[in-house]
Structure 1
Amino acid sequence: MRYRAPIAAVAFLFSISASAGVFKDETDRFTGNRAVRWDSLPAQANEFSFSTVALYLKGSPGPGYYKVQLITWGDSAEFRECHHTNWLVDGVIDPYLEYEYSATSAGSATIERFDKQVDRANLQRLASAKLIEFQVCGTEGKISQSDMEGMRKVLDATK
Structure 2
Amino acid sequence: MLMNIGALESVKLWPCECLIFHDIDLLPEDDRNLYACREQPLHLSAAYNTFNYKLLYEDFFGGVNAISVGHFQRVNGFSNKFWGWGAEDDDLANRIKYHGLSISRNPANISRYTMIRHEKEKPNPHRVETLRSGQNSYTSDGLNSLQYRVLDVQPRRLYTWIYVELMKV
Same structural fold, with TM-score higher than 0.5 when normalized by the shorter chain: no
Q: Which has the higher helix share?
A: 2
If asked which structure has higher relative contact order (CA below 8 Å, sep 6+), I would say 2
TM-score normalized with structure 2 length: 0.27
Q: Which has the higher strand share?
A: 1
TM-score normalized with structure 1 length: 0.28
